Structure 1
Amino acid sequence: MLLLPPWCRSTGFLQGGYPEVDSAENLGEVLRGDRIENSPYEFKMRVPRMCNIVCRIIPNERTSREFKQKIDDEYQVNMILDNLPLVVPITKSEQEQDSHVQYHHGYFVGHKVWYAGMKEDRYLINNHLTFTVKFHKDPEFEYARIVGFEVKPFSVKHQYDGEWSDDTRLTTCDPHAKKLVAGVDPPQEIEDKKEIIFTYDVEFQESDVKWASRWDTYLLMPDDQIHWFSIVNSLMIVLFLSGMVAMIMLRTLYRDISNYNKQEEESKFEQETGWKLLHGDVFRPPVNSDLLCVYVGSGVQFSGMILAAMIFALLGFLSPSNRGGLMTALLLLWVLMAVFGGYATTRLYKSFKKSNWKTITLKTGVMFPGVIFVMFFILNALIWGEKSSGAVPFSTMFALVFLWFCISVPLVFAGGYIGFRKPAIENPVKTNKIPRQIPEQPWYTRSTFSILIGGVLPFGAVFIELFFILTSICCVVKIMNGGGGRI
């Protein structure tokens, strides 16, 4: 199980005195900031438990301030059981015909309430958890497997008789009656030097969901509303741009073809006009040809990584049950695809009539990963300074550097060597030795204006899509009394 709140910690030993063993994270989990720790919640398969006491704390001023800050930041507590993440079931409105249960990962630390006449908000903490473990029983055997892990959080100010001790019995919940008086008792408010008792219930429910299909519920989209307006808007923008470009191309080509036909009828000497003026300068090497080769090689490497990852995902190798598997696979595929990046770089580099392939290959292996690594290192140093659990340890950073310089860079050189030994790419037309002078262009064809006009439509499409996504998130936030945070 995973639980990362700072208020209740595991003792480090299981029932019977056996020491707990923390799960080892893979490379993808470490890079994502996932840390697995044992929790103080103890489950026994198909053995229900009622009102078990986890711990009792008396927060001081600093602890109370931290609790309130986490509630303001909408932090969530995430757990896992048998590799299944904890979810909170949310039932849609009964007025909808297709009402069904949706799931939200993790539960919120608490929430704020405000009543008339109060000067400030009250902070309530979810200190009682009702776990529901769903299992599927094999009809041929007596064994059962876990197929669901749900929770319902409550805020309950627990009461008890006498002084607190290890054998204290709470009066706010009755294990014999199997009932928690959550609606009658007042909620647990966060106050300085006021005790908070954390408790939990565990119940088991038999389910028809088979173990092989237990992840289907988690993979369902939380919002099944199709953004038809965004789809139609994006489609119209694509059609408009395509039509505009096609119209310009057709008109230009039609005019040039008319001039060619007219010249053939009136004169025996054909003069090159229009598009024919460009054939001798189209394949001229650009000013920053080395940078273009590096970009092409990095793009081939990135495209190969995405294509291979999609193939592995379609074949079922990237299962969601393998936490961090996607990140690990992408990183390893990026390293292995370096040979194709080096090959593409040197093939293009040789077509520009250049021969220093070792330098351009080194740039391909270092430039783009180096920029990403520097940004990653700076951001990691910032969150490491804040003592965040999401900071990547230096041992993992060393492993990344090892993969980079000991595997990726040699593969880039291997691909570059193979690519440079291949014959140069021949251009379909010859290139003029003297570049043709570009005539003065109108103001609306200059780079600044073209960039602004060309970026308006894509920005509009992206902005509208993000607007609808943010609107949907806000609606969910209002329903759930909060947004999404993570502990």
Structure 2
Amino acid sequence: MALGWLLCPQLWTAWLLLTSLSSAFYIPGYSVNRYNDNDPIPLLVNKIFSDHTQLQYAYYDLPFVCPPSGKKHGGSPFGSGERVSLNLGEILRGDRIMTSDFELAMGKNVECQSLCTREVGRKDVKWGRQLIKDGYVAEWIADNLPGATTFVTVDRSRKYYATGFKLGSREYSPVDGKLRYFINNHFTIVIRWRSLPEGGKVVVGFEVFPKSISANDRLENGCPKQVHADQDALEFLIPQNTALLREKYPGSSYLPEDDDELDDGATLKIPYTYSVYFKEDNKVDWANRWDLYFSNPEESSMTHWLAILNSLTISGVLGVVVFVIWNRTVQGDVKGRGDGAMEGKLRSKLASRQAEHKREGVLDQGDVERDADLEDEELEDVSGWKLLHADVFRVPAYSGLLAPLIGSGMQLLFMVSGLLILSCMGVLNPSFRGGFVSVGMGLFVFAGLFSGYFSGRLYKTFGGIGWRKNTLITAFLFPGLTFSLMFILNLFVWAQASSTAIPFGTLVSLIALWLLIQVPLVYIGSWLGFARATPWEHPTKTSSIPRQVPEQPWYLRSTQLALLSGLVPFAVLFIELLFVFKNMWLDKSGYYYVFGFLSAVSTILLITVSEVTIIATYSQLCAEVYSLAPLYTQRQLTTGQNYQWWWQSFITGGSSATWIFVYCIWYYISKLHITGFVSSLLFFSYSFIACAVYGLLTGTVGFLTAYAFVRRIYT
């Protein structure tokens, strides 16, 4: 029944139609902040990040920016520098949101306002120059919108946003050809708003235009005399003390430009100022204000439709193959399930017929040949996969490991399905910062019930008796390995003082969430699956002596079969992977928003995995193989007769994860410009975890599909 639903084209067509037309919208009126004139608009500072590294840093941890003064602004009970309460997803993605000293009031333009003058030493300047070199950008937040840099298309037909603004810039000096670094120390903040019919104003855009202005020629309040005029930039450099260098390196003809150990007390003063302007914009609705952050949705939609067309083509071809297999097995099964008894009856019948012909004296060589042909024709129905009826449901090796893996796969399948559904419904959207990770974590913990139930019931089907041991393996295997790897990575990130590191308190909370909530849920589910539910019954009995598995051809051996089968689902997912990787690694300031297309491709992917697993399993059971057993005989056509399909179906279903990881390596080499050992370690570790999750999920789908298929054909 489950397999029939899986292959039902009407249901899948309806689902694909709905998911392809859906998008990651957010519900109008959700968390709308209305402002009147002169109402304060809090500006929050978050972090800095770069597309060239995986390390992020809290904005106020930078030694060359204005530190918070602690003063209260706009009637807020909190002073600047107070940490904003974050959800679990925000913490895990490296957010460190804090209040600031920027004063914004609805409709009140500010030509120039001094923020502070910061003095920095040589080491701080050197680190800041490195951050500018790595292309770091800062993220501020106003009315839950990230401050953005504005870009316009070549034909000026469309404006779009890139989250964050650059810390500084660099250029080659026309005098000596050396690379010079400049720090952005003036920020022009533009708030775009529109009026509501029911009264009040809403923010529909938040833009930041940074600029580097020299510390010379300023007013008493610290503001430049001409803020928006072309001026000399502030070079981010403390000139080296030549006299001290000559004393440190006497007689040397080379004097290093950067010497960290040279401490002469020299500092660089950086005056920070900002301007605020409010502009009315009636072209953008509040419900669509995030659209500008989505890069080229019109152009990318063609890519997504191409991905769906490619996926449907591959899945359709495989569907025809599965349909042919289904007709050959299930529909042809009306002739009777072949077993040894039926084979013996046929041979006895043929022997009796030949004996009768011999008694009548009419048996000749033609009769023998006709009887032999008749025997081959009648035995065809009891050969191949039907001969394995006494071994096909034999308990596989390491069944105590397979059951927990299937349980964890069901847990991940529930989590991913819930995330895609909620994203398509608009519940998870960019305005819900950190919501995707937070809700995903909650779904994963709750799905411990499903993990324990399926693991316990499958373990009971395998004949296991130590269900508590199985429960512990299910509850600790996948989460434990993942947490251990994340903890080791966290040690490397901690050493870099990056906000990407998970705080110790959050680690304790995650452990408590795992041990105090998920583990009990897995235990309850396992008890229901083992003690309360009946094991799945198999249509045939297993013999006491296992059948010998003949030598398999190269393409049906475990490794080769898995790699070849994994290419097909990877081909289905390949085009959509280009878009996903671009948003995840190449452009961190972008937002992934086409969850409708992703759901459609994911649905087709699961269908393809099911089809590939059915074909691979059927090939194992009855693939035609030529053997040369005795050298003096001719080649004989036999069947694969490999009944060890349990683990193979799981490996086949998840084998495309191997190709995705190979694609990650290629993407790292050819597309990314990640620098540093820690950043590279994070990239490959995160890629490995993602591929492991994907492989576990699709492997579970492949196993359940093969299980349903084998049960059905042997019924």
The two structures have a TM-score, normalised by structure 1, of 0.83
1:348 aligns with 2:394: no
The letter for the 2-side match of 1:445 is L
Which position in structure 2 is the counterpart of 1:127?
185
Which position in structure 2 is the counterpart of 1:103?
161
User: Is the Cα contact below 8 Å between 1:111 and 1:124 reproduced in 2?
Assistant: yes
Deviation at 1:70, TM superposition (A): 0.4
User: Is the Cα contact below 8 Å between 1:158 and 1:171 reproduced in 2?
Assistant: no
Aligned with 1:144 (options 198, 201, 226): 201
The letter for the 1-side match of 2:187 is L
User: Is the Cα contact below 8 Å between 1:74 and 1:483 reproduced in 2?
Assistant: no
Which position in structure 2 is the counterpart of 1:170?
224
Task: Decide whether aligned partners of structure 1 residues 244 and 138 sit closer, same or farther in structure 2, where only a CA change above 3 A counts.
Answer: closer
User: Is the Cα contact below 8 Å between 2:223 and 2:273 reproduced in 1?
Assistant: no
Which position in structure 1 is the counterpart of 2:511?
401
Deviation at 1:313, TM superposition (A): 3.6
The letter for the 1-side match of 2:177 is K
> What secondary structure sits across from 1:2 in the alignment?
strand
CA distance in 2, matches of 1:413, 1:438: 38
Task: Decide whether aligned partners of structure 1 residues 118 and 422 sit closer, same or farther in structure 2, where only a CA change above 3 A counts.
Answer: same
1:43 aligns with 2:104: yes
The letter for the 2-side match of 1:279 is H
Once the two structures are superposed, residues 53-81 of structure 1 have per-residue CA deviations (whole angstroms, 9 ceiling, x without a partner) of 22223443222211210011111100001
Deviation at 1:266, TM superposition (A): 2.2
User: Is the Cα contact below 8 Å between 1:76 and 1:484 reproduced in 2?
Assistant: no
Which position in structure 2 is the counterpart of 1:176?
none
Which position in structure 2 is the counterpart of 1:177?
none
Listed as ranges, the matches of 1:353-392 within 5 Å are: 353-392=463-502
> What secondary structure sits across from 1:373 in the alignment?
helix
Identify unmatched segments of 5+ residues in structure 1. Answer: 174-179
Task: Decide whether aligned partners of structure 1 residues 314 and 470 sit closer, same or farther in structure 2, where only a CA change above 3 A counts.
Answer: closer
CA distance in 2, matches of 1:468, 1:321: 21
Task: Decide whether aligned partners of structure 1 residues 111 and 238 sit closer, same or farther in structure 2, where only a CA change above 3 A counts.
Answer: farther
Once the two structures are superposed, residues 389-443 of structure 1 have per-residue CA deviations (whole angstroms, 9 ceiling, x without a partner) of 2222222111111111111111111111111221111112222322211112233
Which position in structure 1 is the counterpart of 2:704?
none
Structure 1 range deviating more: 84-93 or 381-390? 381-390
Aligned with 1:306 (options 410, 416, 434): 416
Which position in structure 2 is the counterpart of 1:76?
137
Structure 1 range deviating more: 115-124 or 456-465? 456-465
1:154 aligns with 2:200: no
> What secondary structure sits across from 1:283 in the alignment?
coil
Structure 1 range deviating more: 336-345 or 233-242? 233-242
User: Is the Cα contact below 8 Å between 1:91 and 1:100 reproduced in 2?
Assistant: yes
Which position in structure 2 is the counterpart of 1:190?
236
RMSD of aligned Cα (Å): 3.9
Q: Give the length in aligned residue pairs.
A: 466
User: Is the Cα contact below 8 Å between 1:256 and 1:274 reproduced in 2?
Assistant: no
Once the two structures are superposed, residues 300-346 of structure 1 have per-residue CA deviations (whole angstroms, 9 ceiling, x without a partner) of 11112222333444444434323222211111111111111111111
1:10 aligns with 2:68: yes
Once the two structures are superposed, residues 353-390 of structure 1 have per-residue CA deviations (whole angstroms, 9 ceiling, x without a partner) of 22221111111111111011101111112111221122
> What secondary structure sits across from 1:13 in the alignment?
coil
Structure 1 range deviating more: 210-219 or 23-32? 210-219
The letter for the 2-side match of 1:171 is K
Which position in structure 2 is the counterpart of 1:416?
526
Structure 1 range deviating more: 230-239 or 297-306? 230-239
User: Is the Cα contact below 8 Å between 1:74 and 1:484 reproduced in 2?
Assistant: no
CA distance in 2, matches of 1:332, 1:356: 29
Task: Decide whether aligned partners of structure 1 residues 123 and 240 sit closer, same or farther in structure 2, where only a CA change above 3 A counts.
Answer: farther
Deviation at 1:154, TM superposition (A): 2.2
Which position in structure 2 is the counterpart of 1:294?
404
User: Is the Cα contact below 8 Å between 2:307 and 2:572 reproduced in 1?
Assistant: yes
Which position in structure 1 is the counterpart of 2:21?
none
Identity %: 35
Task: Decide whether aligned partners of structure 1 residues 317 and 232 sit closer, same or farther in structure 2, where only a CA change above 3 A counts.
Answer: closer
CA distance in 1, matches of 2:413, 2:74: 53
Aligned with 1:34 (options 95, 108, 111): 95
Q: Determine which structure has more spread, i.e. the larger CA radius of gyration.
A: 2
CA distance in 2, matches of 1:298, 1:112: 50
Which position in structure 2 is the counterpart of 1:435?
546
User: Is the Cα contact below 8 Å between 1:46 and 1:204 reproduced in 2?
Assistant: yes
The letter for the 2-side match of 1:290 is G
Which position in structure 1 is the counterpart of 2:170?
112
User: Is the Cα contact below 8 Å between 2:214 and 2:234 reproduced in 1?
Assistant: yes
Task: Decide whether aligned partners of structure 1 residues 412 and 19 sit closer, same or farther in structure 2, where only a CA change above 3 A counts.
Answer: closer
The letter for the 2-side match of 1:377 is F
Aligned with 1:284 (options 394, 414, 423): 394
Once the two structures are superposed, residues 173-198 of structure 1 have per-residue CA deviations (whole angstroms, 9 ceiling, x without a partner) of 2xxxxxx10xx322332221554332
Structure holding more helix per residue: 2
User: Is the Cα contact below 8 Å between 1:90 and 1:102 reproduced in 2?
Assistant: yes
Task: Decide whether aligned partners of structure 1 residues 248 and 315 sit closer, same or farther in structure 2, where only a CA change above 3 A counts.
Answer: closer
Which position in structure 2 is the counterpart of 1:329?
439
CA distance in 2, matches of 1:431, 1:401: 43
CA distance in 2, matches of 1:16, 1:232: 54
User: Is the Cα contact below 8 Å between 1:160 and 1:168 reproduced in 2?
Assistant: no
CA distance in 2, matches of 1:362, 1:263: 60
Task: Decide whether aligned partners of structure 1 residues 268 and 77 sit closer, same or farther in structure 2, where only a CA change above 3 A counts.
Answer: closer
User: Is the Cα contact below 8 Å between 2:73 and 2:101 reproduced in 1?
Assistant: no
CA distance in 2, matches of 1:345, 1:229: 38
> What secondary structure sits across from 2:210 in the alignment?
strand
CA distance in 1, matches of 2:424, 2:330: 44
Which position in structure 1 is the counterpart of 2:537?
426
CA distance in 2, matches of 1:54, 1:246: 71
User: Is the Cα contact below 8 Å between 1:145 and 1:211 reproduced in 2?
Assistant: no
Identify unmatched segments of 5+ residues in structure 2. Answer: 1-43, 47-58, 239-266, 339-345, 347-369, 589-671, 680-715
CA distance in 1, matches of 2:67, 2:100: 6
Once the two structures are superposed, residues 255-314 of structure 1 have per-residue CA deviations (whole angstroms, 9 ceiling, x without a partner) of 9999x9999982599543122122222222110111111011111111122223334444
CA distance in 2, matches of 1:279, 1:11: 78
Which position in structure 1 is the counterpart of 2:274?
200
CA distance in 1, matches of 2:545, 2:428: 54
CA distance in 2, matches of 1:372, 1:118: 52
Structure 1 range deviating more: 16-25 or 341-350? 16-25
User: Is the Cα contact below 8 Å between 1:83 and 1:321 reproduced in 2?
Assistant: yes
